[in-house]
C-alpha cells in the first residue's frame, strides 16, 4: 500500500508559468514533508520542506502548501524555468527514526 | 554544505562476485545514513538505515546477509552486495542526515551484474 502518492507521472508547463506538483499521503503519523528534485542517474537534491505545524513554506520560487485535513501537499514553482525540468519526489516522515517514504515522482518539463 | 559523495559512480561486476559501495558525508557528521535502491521509473525504495557504531536496520524483504552495511564512522558507510546476481543490477543511492529530517543524497552508484 502506497503511503505517499503522486498521481501525476508527468506535467508539462510553459516557461514563466506556474508549475503545481501534487502529493497525497495516507499515514496520519507523518509530520514532516519534503520535496526533492532528481535528474537521471543522479541522487535527489533537497528543495524545500514543511512541518505539519505549518501550512505554507516559501523559499524563493518554491512554495510548499500543506493541507493536513485533506492529507495533501503541493509544490508551486513560479516562474517556471527550463532548468526546473526534472523528476520531483514528494517524501514524508514521522517519528524519531527520520525514515522517509517517497512517492513515485512527477516528471516536470518546462518548455521554452 | 551538506555534501554526500558515493564511490564508485558506476561498477560492472561478474555474477557471484561482491561489490562494495562507499558513502561519505564530506562536510558534516552523519548520525544516520540510509541506503536506497531505485529501479527505472520507480520511486526510491529504502533498503536499510544505519547508525554509526551499531547494526543496520533493514527494511522488510531486504536480505541482510546479501546487502552488508557497515557504518564505521560518522562520515562513512559502506554497502557490500555479496554474491551479486543480475537481478541486483540497479541504481543504489545513499543519504545522510545530521540531525533532523532533511536527508542529503549522494550521486548514486549504477551497478551492473553480468
Give mean pLDDT, residues B13-29. 95
Cα separation, A85 vs A91, in Å, equals: 19
Q: pLDDT, tens digit, for every residue of A71-88?
A: 999 999 999 999 999 999
pLDDT at residue B1, as a whole number: 63
Q: What phi, psi does A81 have (nearest 5°)?
A: -125, 150
Count of beta carbons in the 10 Å neighbourhood of residue B27? 11
CA distance A58 to chain B (A): 16
Q: What is the mean pLDDT of chain A?
A: 94
Q: pLDDT, tens digit, for every residue of B48-63?
A: 999 888 889 999 999 9
CB proximity A83 to B under 8 Å: no
Among chain B residues, the shortest Cα distance to A98 is held by: B101
Grid coordinates representing A40 are 537521471
Chain A residues in contact with B101 by the CB 8 A cut-off are 32, 34, 49, 93, 98, 100
Q: B67 near B81, Cβ under 8 Å?
A: yes
Count of beta carbons in the 10 Å neighbourhood of residue A31? 15
Among chain B residues, the shortest Cα distance to A107 is held by: B41
Buried/exposed code over A70-103 (b: 16+ C-beta within 10 A; e: otherwise): ebebbbbbeebeeebbbbbbbbbbbeeebbbbbb
Amino acid at each position: 500500500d502506497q503511503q505517499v502518492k503522486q498521481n501525476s507521472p508527468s506535467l508539462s508547463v510553459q516557461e514563466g508559468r506556474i508549475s503545481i506538483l501534487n502529493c497525497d499521503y495516507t499515514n496520519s503519523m507523518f509530520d514532516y514533508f519534503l520535496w526533492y528534485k532528481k535528474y537521471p542517474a543522479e541522487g535527489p537534491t533537497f528543495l524545500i520542506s514543511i512541518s505539519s505545524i505549518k501550512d505554507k513554506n516559501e523559499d524563493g520560487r518554491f512554495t510548499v502548501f500543506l493541507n493536513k485535513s485533506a492529507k495533501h501537499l503541493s509544490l508551486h514553482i513560479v516562474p517556471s524555468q527550463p532548468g526546473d525540468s526534472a523528476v520531483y519526489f514528494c517524501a514524508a516522515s514521522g517519528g524519531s527514526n527520520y525514515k522517509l517514504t517517497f512517492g513515485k515522482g512527477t516528471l516536470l518539463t518546462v518548455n521554452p | 554544505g551538506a555534501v554526500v559523495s558515493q564511490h564508485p559512480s558506476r561498477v560492472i561486476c561478474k555474477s557471484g562476485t561482491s561489490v562494495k559501495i562507499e558513502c561519505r558525508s564530506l562536510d558534516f557528521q552523519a548520525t544516520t545514513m540510509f541506503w536506497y535502491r531505485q529501479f527505472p521509473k520507480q520511486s526510491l525504495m529504502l533498503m536499510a538505515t544505519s547508525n554509526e557504531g551499531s547494526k543496520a536496520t533493514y527494511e522488510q524483504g531486504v536480505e541482510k546477509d546479501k546487502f552488508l552495511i557497515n557504518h564505521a564512522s560518522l562520515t562513512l558507510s559502506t554497502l557490500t552486495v555479496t554474491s551479486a546476481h543480475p537481478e541486483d543490477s540497479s541504481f543504489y543511492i545513499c543519504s545522510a542526515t545530521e540531525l533532523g529530517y532533511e536527508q542529503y543524497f549522494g550521486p548514486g552508484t549504477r551497478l551492473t551484474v553480468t
